[in-house]
Amino acid sequence: MIKLLLADDQDILTEGLKLILGAEEDIEIVGTANNGKKAYELCRIRKPDVVLMDIQMPEVNGVEATEMIKKEFPNIKIIVLTTFNDDEYIYDALKNGASGYLLKDTSPVEILKAVRTVYNGGALIQSEVAVKVIDKFSQLAKKTEDKHIDSKAELLTDREIEICRLIAEGKNNKEISGELFLSQGTVKNHITKILIKLDLRDRTQLAIFSIKNEL
C-alpha cells in the first residue's frame, strides 16, 4: 500500500485528487495540507511514502517544503504538481530532492503512474519539463567560468555514459532499452551500478549530474 499525502491550497483540486487517487486499491490517502508548513508537519506524523506537492502555497511554498521534508525524511518521495511550467521552479524543486515534476493538466492516469514510479524508486519528469531542466543547467554551465568536472565521472564506462545522457534527456528504462538494444533488466542493472559509483540517490540526481558534468 502506497501512503500518499496531498499538499495544495486549492481545496477543489485536493478533493478531486483524493477521490480519484484514493479509489485505487494500492493507494491510501494519509492526509491533506493547504500549505508547505502543514505538509512538513504531517510528514512527521503520518510518514507518507509519496507527497504530491503544489508549488504556490501560503506560509511555506512547495519548493521550501520539499527541501525541509527531504532533509529530515530522505526516503519520502516528492512529486511537484503545479500549473507553473517555469524554469526556476523546476530547477529548485529538483535540486531540493523532488523525484518528479508534473503539470496540473496531467491526466489522472499519468499522475497515478508517477506516484507508482517514484514509490518504486524511479523518477518521472514530463518530456517538456525535462527539456527545460536541461536548458536551465546548460545556461548555468555556460555562466560558470571555472567549470569543475566531478572526478567520479571518470569511473563510468562508455555504455554507462550513454545511459546517463539518455536519462538526462528524460528517457525511461523502456525507451533507453529500445535505443541501446538492451533488455530493461540490463538497463536497470546499469543504472544501479552508476548510482553506486557516483554516490547518488536516484535518477533525478543522476540527470542533474549528467548535465552539470556535460556527459
What secondary structure does DSSP assign to 88-155, as a single string? HHHHHHHHTT-SEEEETTS-HHHHHHHHHHHHTT--EE-HHHHHHHHHHHHHHHHH-SS----GGGGG
Q: Is residue 138 part of a domain?
A: no
Q: Same domain for 166 and 66?
A: no
The per-residue pLDDT for 169 is 78
Mean pLDDT of 10-38: 94
The per-residue pLDDT for 143 is 57
Measured in degrees and rounded to the nearest 5, phi and psi for residue 99 equal -95, -10
Q: Is residue 140 part of a domain?
A: no
Contact 12, 4 (CB under 8 A): no
Q: Is residue 33 part of a domain?
A: yes
Q: Same domain for 75 and 153?
A: no
Q: Same domain for 29 and 91?
A: yes
CA distance 69 to 46: 13
Mean pLDDT of 92-110: 83
Q: Which domain holds residue 190?
A: 148-212
3-state helix, strand, coil in the chain (%, to 5): 55, 15, 30
The per-residue pLDDT for 104 is 81
Mean pLDDT of 55-71: 92
Q: Is the pLDDT of residue 95 over 90?
A: no
Residue ending a domain, among 98, 130, 162, is 130
The per-residue pLDDT for 188 is 92
Beta pairing, strands 50-53 & 27-33? unpaired
Q: Is residue 170 part of a domain?
A: yes
Most confident of 34-38, 83-87, 126-130, 197-201: 34-38
Q: Same domain for 108 and 182?
A: no
Q: Is the pLDDT of residue 90 over 90?
A: no
Q: Same domain for 93 and 180?
A: no
Q: Is the pLDDT of residue 76 over 60?
A: yes
The pTM of the full predicted model, rounded to 2 decimals, is 0.71
Q: Same domain for 53 and 112?
A: yes
The per-residue pLDDT for 137 is 59
The per-residue pLDDT for 28 is 97
Three-class SS state of 176: helix
Count of the separate structural domains present in the chain: 2
Q: Is the pLDDT of residue 130 over 70?
A: no
Q: Is residue 143 part of a domain?
A: no
Three-class SS state of 26: coil
Mean pLDDT of 57-70: 93
For 202, how many CA atoms within 13 A lie in the half-sphere containing its CB?
24
Residue ending a domain, among 130, 159, 182, is 130
Assign residue 150 a region (left: φ > 0; alpha: ψ between -120 and 50; beta: otherwise). Answer: beta
Q: Of 26-40, 140-154, 167-181, 186-200, where does mean pLDDT reach its minimum?
A: 140-154
Q: Same domain for 167 and 102?
A: no
CA distance 33 to 52: 10
